[in-house]
Amino acid sequence: MVEVLRYDVLIIGSGLAGLRAAFQAALTSKDRLRIAVISKLHAMRSHSVSAEGGISGVLYPKENNDSIELHAYDTVKGSDFLADQDAVEILVKLAPEEIKFFEHLGTPWSRLPDGRIAQRPFGGMSIPRTAFAADKTGFFMMSTLYDNLQRFDNVEFFHENFVTSIILENGLFKGVTAIDMATGEYRVFLGKAGIIATGGAGRVYSFVTVAHSNTGDGIAIAYRAGIPIKDMEFVQFHPTGMVPSGVLITEAARGEGGYLVNRQGERFLKRYAPQRMELAPRDIISRAIMTEIKEGRGFAHEESGLEYVHLDLRHLGEEKINERLPMIRELSRKLIGVDPVSEPIPVRPAVHYTMGGIHTDTYGQVMLDEQSTRIPNLWAAGEVASVSIHGANRLGSNALAECAVWGRLTGEAAARYAMNAPDSMLQISTAVDTAVKNEEKRIFDRLLHTESNPENPYDIRSELQATMDSLVGVFRDQRGLEEAWRMLKRLKERFSKARVENRVRIYNNNLRDFLEIDFMLDVAETIVVGALNRTESRGAHYRLDYPKRDDVNWLKHTLVFYRRGEPPYISYAPVRITKWAAEERKY
């Protein structure tokens, strides 16, 4: 018998957006609703704990000569004008409230001598408006939320429960299927309302800053359920991944005054972003670093063969590094034996963030088509969603702001829906029962009992990541993208012959990896097809064969729809423009 668990609100994912949604749903419902937070990890292992640099928000407009409108303009310009401007206006209006909300919950923000919350410069921001807690901001925000959620008896955590599918019936969210990793048992969660908050998909590449868990599960299960996936061709490369591991060196290192230098000892960004230098947006700096490397002005790592440039913090001094960047110093010393007080850190661009994701409206409600049909009881928040705030390029420190703001908005909306929804929504219909049985058969019959001489799924994962690294990277072109598409089709065909070797039920990590690789192949499909079709360069999507931005033909969002056994269907949706017409982007 399949275990059936019934809750009023299901939150899939336990990072910053998921926990903020759970908190707001609990506040809104005042103990009237049962709320389940379902995570394939322990909640405090979610990747949000790794966020280092800070959260953006206009806290002191008079003192800093800042404004809500300037933050919005910086974000729209940073997005290369692909962001939906009504969503950006919500972000910049509510982000300061969220920073103060976290302060009241107990987040230990770094402070100025007069007691105000300190704010540091970040790339693409006109004004220092990034609040921070040293260089461990995500960890402190997550700890604050998780600790405070223990106050609510109606919020229940399901740690290490891997969600494998979303169940929709007649355009309505019904629930999810999952595997309890501790027991191997298959179970069904039914809910009156749902929020997807599973994070990004960076692990479809190999040189990345993100956790091994960032395999795009939420994007893939939404895609397979018929939900359109938006703007996946825009993959953010963070300029400063530590070589050779890819571990993140926060943008705060440059915000505090760090320099990027090439093999000739030159601060090369004067050629690419002369006004902002190291505080230009991430897409521009990543292309600059890769250009320096391609033109022979980089260094080479002996063991890995990776080429890189130097991030130099030595001039900041030991006291400032210890106060503002203690974890960066600790990571550099422990992982590569480099003390940034006395030596520069080797860095190169690494995959960092998924700008695209599940297609939602301005308030995070999941869409079923281009513009008109919403799923009335399903939302998405955080990196898994494409609201779209970041458009073609995210500005650093806007991600934590997005997670907090849309966690709050979707948590409240889901709770209000569930409070007015009948208990009959939690009944298993014939269609739901069929979906549950089909998913169980897919996992436990096909995966655990398949033909002899199977393909090795780990070889397929390695080849997928190598393909994405080499052909769908910082620079792209038609020939490379077409080869990536052909390779992806071959990998999918091979994966259909793969199987799970480990047959135990308890903590079957082989099964978990297998399911993740399956999802990664679908996510990669949305990235490659979007990149192949977008014949322009905009933000993080740079086509060597189409180096100019084309607002006449491409000022629009890409939507990719799943078609089982066939190439995906591609459609488009307009960018919502409220104030700022597209202009040339200079820094």
The catalytic residues are 238, 254
Contacts of 272 (CB under 8 A, 6+ apart): 280, 284, 285, 287, 288, 291
What SS3 string covers 266-291?
CCHHHHCCCCCHHHCCHHHHHHHHHH
User: 165 burial class (0-12, 13-18, 19+ CB within 10 angstroms)?
Assistant: buried
**Tokens for 551?**
């607002």
Strands in 229-230's sheet, in edge-to-edge order, are 385-386, 357-359, 229-230, 556-561, 569-574
H/E element, 432: helix 430-441
CA nearest to 184, candidates 506, 437, 436: 506
Return the biggest CA–CA distance within the chain.
70
Q: What is the DSSP letter of 541?
A: B
CA 127 vs. chain centroid, Å, equals 25
Residues facing 299 on adjacent strands: 308
Minimal CA–CA distance to 163: which of 520, 512, 467? 512
Encoding tokens for residue 201? 């998909």
What is the distance between the alpha carbons of residues 495 and 586, in angstroms, rounded to a whole number?
A: 44
Please check whether residue 166 is in contact with residue 222, taking contact to mean a CB–CB distance below 8 angstroms: yes
Sheet with 119-120: strands ordered across: 55-56, 130-131, 119-120
SS3 call for 123: coil
At residue 259, what are phi and psi to the nearest 5 degrees?
-110, 145
- d(CA 271, CA 268) in angstroms, rounded, equals 6
Calculate the alpha carbon distances from 32 to 8, 10, 147, 213, 255 in Å: 9, 14, 21, 33, 45
- CA dist 242 and 332 (Å) reads 8
Q: Encoding tokens for residue 321?
A: 């590094």
DSSP state of 118: P
**DSSP conformational letter for 211:** -
